[in-house]
Amino acid sequence: MKIHIIEIGTFQLPPSRPLKDLIPEIKKIKLSKGLPVAFKLDSIIIDWHSPLPEDVEEIVLKPLFPEDRESLEVLRHTASHILAQAVKELFPEAKLGIGPAIDEGFYYDIYYPKPFNEEDLKLIEKKVKEIIKKNLPLERKVLERSEAERLFSELKEDFKLELLREFEDSQISVYTQGNFVDLCRGPHLLTTGQVRAVKLLSVAGAYWRGNEKNPMLNRIYGTAFFKEEDLKAYLELLEEVKKRDHRRLGKELELFLIEEDIGAGLVIWLPKGALVRKIIEDFWKEEHLKRDYHLVYTPHIALRDLWKTSGHLDFYSDNMYPPMELENRAYQLKPMNCPFHIYIYNQKRRSYRDLPLRLCELGTVYRFERSGVLHGLLRVRGFTQDDAHIFCREDQLEDELIRVLDLVIYFLKLFGFQEYQIYLSTRPEKFVGPPEIWDKAEKALKSALEHKGLAFEIDPGEGVFYGPKIDLKIKDVLGRFWQCSTIQVDFNLPERFDLVYVSEDNRFHRPIMIHRALLGSLERFFGVLIEHYGGAFPFWLAPIQVRVLTITDRNILYGEKIFQELKSAGFRVDKDFRNEKINYKIRSAQMEKIPYMIILGDQEEQRQTLSLRKRSGEVLQDLTLSEVITLLRSENTLSSIH
RNA sequence: GCCGGCGUAGCUCAGGGGUAGAGCAGUGGAUUCGUAAUCCACAGGUCGUGGGUUCGAAACCCACCGCCGGCUCCA
């Protein structure tokens, strides 16, 4: 067979031989990037061990080198095998689950009667490094199904057997290194020594195949790179992530509080955090009113029967707080706002002329979350959705969806999020409503996305039973994605609450409902914002925009005057007139991440000027107050948009 | 909920069967200073909660609560 490797050359290989056989020949060529790690055949990654297609005479391979993203996948997959080998050597009774490469590294799920702890992890890491040092060659073998079953039952690898029995192929591939064997499709490196930099990061419990009914395995997470410096850079990134952790910054910057005595997952917004929230809320309301939404407020609890009608008791009760009984009636803390908005729709007879009816609310809801899943502001039990429900006619659906998408993107960009992952989830197996309308709604969602020129992926069958939806994840400054926005079409609730409007033909028709949240929940969005900006909010969001600092006590009077003038100019300003050195006061302001400091001493006072220090450290001297005000005003993104 | 780790002053953390320690923050004083930490003093803790072991527990054991990293789910 003729093998053409791009930019390397063309080689001849006898049939059913692996690429490995070509190594001596390839090594003779001067390769600027060294020997390839693996190859790409069309869109699949193959390694030096992989069997090549048999029915063709010629294939073209794209070589993958350490700098290619896909090579890392191969490396990490091998690293996970090394991890498994290390564990098996140290703990022979351990049983292996699965061990894939993941975005940031790899893991292996391993059963062992006694769960592993941090100390075991250190031991295992040591062993991993030994195996790497031995530079064991990897081999790929193909076994008959029965042979493979015999092998893994001899090895007492129950989980592997379970996997094996579900495979359809009669031939099973395994990879070996030293005396370690693992059921595996590949691809892998040539030798364990190619894994130059590896680190085990954590152990955690993980159910076999993610199912709570299955036994719990130990998941060992690690990461690996071709170069030590890449590992170092990654560990530094982890440090950076830690520094930006909204829970830490929330404490340091006094933004919010989650307090054991108050309750897990319940958020207290401290004055500074509350101020940021107020800015977001004011802006949100204004923008919605501009776009012909009606602002509404609804109660936090309601009679439980409401949730029976809505169907939430049937499919959502696990997430709902238990009922409260009073005067023989059961009340329910609300997990969603929709039923209330439905009653607003139903408050009077609606005409086709009333549609679309857009109701919006910053509605606080309570959902019970299992204690183990709570996480700072990102996962809480009480939160405020920036919710809206749009009731429209079928012919208005696409237009409304476009308008919603417009608004989403407008908001997200303003908050500094430029990149998104968008998923369109389509009809699941269990669904309500006529399939034709589903098709129409899916089409409407799709063309709305296309109309906005937004790239998206389709998640087939992942829609909620009541309608198709668009989920939007935003990418933060560290490249992490967060789900915030969601747009869902609903055919179910209008049916359950028997919503109608009177059409031109004087007959009743059923409206379609759109649920949508742009920011998702204010709590989560705030958490994401804190991490995105590392606590250094842009000027328009900063709880304190400017701080006035005096050099000595002599300047307090002048400082007070400047402070008052900035305040009446509409800025969020505070002052630091403490009897401390200027360096000390600058340091405090800097650590509080205040965008601007105004520093004044005798010199400024005499000349009636100011010194302005930006958060970046840049200093502008000798400015007049009106120059400063002009400069600050130009910083205000919001006013420049309005 | 489950698995592992953790819980000591407002914060960050040290200590560890003989009765509590640092830095920062706070308070008082000295200092009046030019763009990221001035000095001194003081004050501050039923060592997460409850129970047990012990002459003695913050340390060891058990239960619970909470937090952290995951599994699952989602805003």
Mark whether A393 and A468 lie in a shared domain.
Answer: yes
Which is more confident, A448 or A315? Answer: A448
Look up the CATH number of the domain holding residue A605: 3.40.50.800
pLDDT exceeds 90 at position A477: no
Look up the CATH number of the domain holding residue A429: 3.30.930.10
Look up the CATH number of the domain holding residue A25: 3.10.20
CB-neighbour burial class of residue A537 (10 A; exposed 0-12, middle 13-18, buried 19+): buried
Give the pLDDT mean for A434-448: 88
Give me the catalytic one of A440, A515, A516, A532.
Answer: A515
- The predicted pLDDT at position A614 comes to 96
- A622: the nucleotide nearest its CA (via C1') is B34
Mark whether A216 and A73 lie in a shared domain.
Answer: yes
Identity of the residue numbered A309: T
- The predicted pLDDT at position A259 comes to 85
- A554: the nucleotide nearest its CA (via C1') is B32
- The distance (Å) linking the CA of A566 with the C1' of B21 is 46
- The predicted pLDDT at position A638 comes to 57
- The distance (Å) linking the CA of A265 with the C1' of B4 is 22
For residue A280, say whether its CB is under 7 Å from any atom of strand B.
no
Answer with the one of A38, A64, A90 that is the final residue of a domain. A64
Local confidence band at A637 (pLDDT 50, 70, 90 cut-offs) = low
Cis peptide before A14 (omega within 30 of 0): no
Does residue A44 form part of some domain?
Answer: yes
Identity of the residue numbered A283: F
For residue A341, say whether its CB is under 7 Å from any atom of strand B.
no
pLDDT digits 0-9 by tens, A531-590: 999 999 999 999 999 999 999 999 999 999 999 999 999 999 999 999 999 999 999 999
Domain region containing A604: 546-641
pLDDT exceeds 80 at position A237: yes
Separation of alpha carbons A359 and A514, rounded Å: 10
- A378: the nucleotide nearest its CA (via C1') is B75
Mark whether A524 and A566 lie in a shared domain.
Answer: no
Mark whether A232 and A271 lie in a shared domain.
Answer: no
Domains held by chain A: number: 4
Local confidence band at A410 (pLDDT 50, 70, 90 cut-offs) = very high
- The distance (Å) linking the CA of A261 with the C1' of B57 is 25
- The predicted pLDDT at position A531 comes to 92
Mark whether A368 and A458 lie in a shared domain.
Answer: yes
For residue A455, say whether its CB is under 7 Å from any atom of strand B.
no
CA A462 to chain centre: 18
ipTM associated with this complex: 0.91
Known catalytic residue at A387: yes
Give the pLDDT mean for A455-461: 88
Mark whether A90 and A130 lie in a shared domain.
Answer: yes
- Placement of tokens 């900035």 in the chain: A566
- A472: the nucleotide nearest its CA (via C1') is B75
Local confidence band at A504 (pLDDT 50, 70, 90 cut-offs) = very high
- The distance (Å) linking the CA of A118 with the C1' of B55 is 37
Look at residue A18 and give its three-state secondary structure.
coil
Mark whether A481 and A596 lie in a shared domain.
Answer: no
Local confidence band at A640 (pLDDT 50, 70, 90 cut-offs) = very low
- The predicted pLDDT at position A160 comes to 92
Residues 78-97 of A with CB under 7 A from strand B: none
Lowest-pLDDT range, A10-19, A325-334, A498-507, A536-545? A10-19
Separation of alpha carbons A66 and A412, rounded Å: 36
Look up the CATH number of the domain holding residue A189: 3.30.980.10
Does residue A251 form part of some domain?
Answer: no
Does residue A351 form part of some domain?
Answer: yes
Calculate what percentage of chain A has a pLDDT beyond 70.
99
Give the pLDDT mean for A410-436: 88
- The predicted pLDDT at position A243 comes to 87
- The predicted pLDDT at position A121 comes to 86
pLDDT exceeds 90 at position A428: no
Pairing of strands A546-550, A596-600: parallel
- The distance (Å) linking the CA of A609 with the C1' of B14 is 49
For residue A473, say whether its CB is under 7 Å from any atom of strand B.
no
Cα–Cα distances (Å) from A618 to A596, A605, A614, A615, in that order, read: 10, 21, 5, 7
Mark whether A60 and A197 lie in a shared domain.
Answer: no
Which is more confident, A100 or A371? Answer: A100
Local confidence band at A433 (pLDDT 50, 70, 90 cut-offs) = confident
For residue A219, say whether its CB is under 7 Å from any atom of strand B.
yes
pLDDT digits 0-9 by tens, A58-113: 888 898 998 888 899 999 999 999 999 999 999 988 999 999 998 889 999 999 88
Mark whether A464 and A391 lie in a shared domain.
Answer: yes
Give me the catalytic one of A387, A471, A476, A490.
Answer: A387
Answer with the one of A533, A563, A592 that is the final residue of a domain. A533
pLDDT exceeds 90 at position A514: yes
Under 8 Å CB-to-CB from A435, ≥6 apart: which residues? A427
Does residue A189 form part of some domain?
Answer: yes
pLDDT exceeds 80 at position A12: yes
Cα–Cα distances (Å) from A214 to A204, A210, A399, in that order, read: 15, 8, 47
Separation of alpha carbons A187 and A191, rounded Å: 12
Does residue A248 form part of some domain?
Answer: no
Q: Give the single-character DSSP code of A115.
A: P
Local confidence band at A639 (pLDDT 50, 70, 90 cut-offs) = very low
Give me the count of residues in chain A. Answer: 642
Answer with the one of A510, A533, A556 that is the final residue of a domain. A533
pLDDT exceeds 60 at position A181: yes
Mark whether A583 and A469 lie in a shared domain.
Answer: no
Mark whether A170 and A265 lie in a shared domain.
Answer: no
Average model confidence (pLDDT) across chain A: 90
pLDDT exceeds 90 at position A463: no
- The predicted pLDDT at position A211 comes to 85
Does residue A326 form part of some domain?
Answer: no
Mark whether A212 and A277 lie in a shared domain.
Answer: no
Local confidence band at A284 (pLDDT 50, 70, 90 cut-offs) = very high
Lowest-pLDDT range, A29-38, A141-150, A173-182, A522-531? A29-38
Q: Give the single-character DSSP code of A119.
A: H
Does residue A324 form part of some domain?
Answer: no
Known catalytic residue at A469: yes
Separation of alpha carbons A188 and A279, rounded Å: 53
- The distance (Å) linking the CA of A22 with the C1' of B44 is 74
pLDDT exceeds 50 at position A346: yes
Separation of alpha carbons A16 and A19, rounded Å: 10
pLDDT exceeds 80 at position A21: yes
Nearest residue to B67 via alpha carbon and C1': A260
**Closest alpha carbon to A559 in A499, A505, A611:** A611
For residue A480, say whether its CB is under 7 Å from any atom of strand B.
no
Which is more confident, A478 or A121? Answer: A121
- The predicted pLDDT at position A84 comes to 94
**Closest alpha carbon to A228 in A306, A145, A132:** A132
Q: Residue A512 in contact with residue A391, Cβ under 8 Å?
A: yes
Nucleotides of B under 7 A from a protein CB: 1-5, 7, 11-12, 30-38, 65-75
Identity of the residue numbered A526: F
- A377: the nucleotide nearest its CA (via C1') is B75
- The distance (Å) linking the CA of A556 with the C1' of B34 is 15
Calculate what percentage of chain A has a pLDDT beyond 90.
59
Does residue A321 form part of some domain?
Answer: no
For residue A217, say whether its CB is under 7 Å from any atom of strand B.
no
